[in-house]
Structure 1
Amino acid sequence: MEYLEKWIMELAAEQGGVVRRSQLLDGGLTIGQIQRRRRSGLVEAINKFSYKIFEPQNHMDLLRGALVALPQGVVSHQSAAILHAFPTAPPSNPTVTVHHRGTHQFPGVTVRRCDDLDPQDTTLVRGLKSTTVERTVVDLAPWVSEWFLDRMTQDLIIDRRMSMDRFTEVVNRVARRGKSGSAALRSLLMARGDGNIMGQSELERLGGKLLLDPALPTFIPQYPIPWDDDKTWDHAAPGYLLALEWDSRKWHASVEAMDSDRQRDREAQAHGWLLLRFTWIDVTRRPLYVVREIKKVLAQREPQSRIS
């Protein structure tokens, strides 16, 4: 019996403090022994299929326990973003998704229901069944701003964690009319995917209009990079060693270019300059944010007596 107790505790430790009824029966316990354990408080019924042996200790334990108690469950939304180590991921409670007809309760875990989770949209991450990177982004669309969705997706593509083709396929398959988040996803694909996108000159014009704010210093368009005469920044305030770039590129065409951008960012920093980048969403949907960010940076930088 001592061996059986040890086995149950070790099993529960691997599964977030939760075991299935079938596991206990397969391990040698009888139905009567399980019922006596319930009455004595040694186990706590979560549902008719599973029992809690001890309290989960952290986010991962809650996810492990939920997947044991909800056999059709899949780690999803913000929790899937954490599992996949998204460069940018919104905080949240542990979250799993189950089929809309399945059991949908687990203490301490947000359980969402859906009827369109295709097997091809799931994968194993750190031993847990999870939505794929592409499906995770689609699932997060209703819960984050369009600006955050753009930044998150761009980061994943730049880091080569997600391809434009796979993402587009999932969006076209899942983002149906009326489904929450679909409009934002389709708008994003039109702007950053294979649809039409605002031209660079038009984006620079709109960005330049924001720089006419009287509280801002003069920004010079197409300012030559001091250490590279063959290249320019879209706008610069040399007196503050501050440069701006307006990014209108499509995702699938910009991965290598964005790698180059990171090198340019490092070069600017090495020469004492700060380079800020703003996207089409920033300029067209969040113009006050753009101006506010520029003002915030300027407040932290001393005017320069000479250009370096």
Structure 2
Amino acid sequence: MDKSARRGPQCGIIEHMPEVVDVLLRRNGTATFGELRALVTGRAIRSALDGGTIRRIAKGVYSLPAAPDPIAAARAQGGLISHRSAAVLYGFGILELPDKPEVTVPRGQHRRLSPVDCVLHRADEVPSDGFCTSKLRTVLDCARTLPFADGLAVADSALRLRAVDHSQLMVAAAELRGPGSLRARRVAAAADGRAESVLESALRAIIIEEGIPGFEPQVAVQDGSFSARIDLGHRALLIAAETDGFAYHGTRAALARDCRRHVGLTLRGWRLLRFTWEDVMYDREWVVAALRDAIAGSPGHHNVPPAWASRRGAAA
């Protein structure tokens, strides 16, 4: 996704555009009009086309914008595909696609003149796997150079795919030195292969950074014939923080299943807080306020007025 789209609706981007990109990302970059239309509005598709967020590659077929070939960029610079570009090739989840291929070359090597543009990184020794940095090195590079949520999404995905081992990641992060090493160690410590989506990882990153305790990924709720898993559950307070990716709730059958699941969890005492991509990516303050309000209003906690009530009283 381009950087302007990530800044969100307040910057003039049509609010449904991230949903179109999300659908394409989950379908390996391409989809027919019918596949898109089943999940997003026609207006959203037209807006994404007009804004260049997606492109039409054939009649009724759409894709993400073409990006320079990372293999060509790596060869042109005499380096390795690295960072987010390597993460994409390994199939790791990422929150934001790179605008240009990311390539790592030996420190001291001059940039070569080439029509294939790229972001160049430099390092002394880089473990490789073919044209790419190794899977472990790719996770560490993303962890030390990207914002915490982005690095966590890559690390969670790599663990989920069993591309790296958590203890191996912890040891390698502990051995890092230089810029970003502390950030990488923080990502390694927080990484969890139970996370099932990059949006879930991004929400967990907010919870961790805000110091909100008690939430853990993929909490199982089973009772007789009922069974469900909660994205991020607080077992003691029975609070469920859920991420709603539009692609998973865009059909009537999915809506029916989701409603029954919601009712089942509610009957068992769980309170569901459901956050969209736009909420998590563009409205962090509201997400944090909602989580803290839910905790403050839980049984066993002091009866603290929720943040929205306090703001309303102040306005009055």
TM-score, normalisation: structure 1: 0.44
More relative contact order, 1 or 2 (CA 8 Å, 6+ apart): 2
TM-score, normalisation: structure 2: 0.43
Say which one has the larger Rg.
1
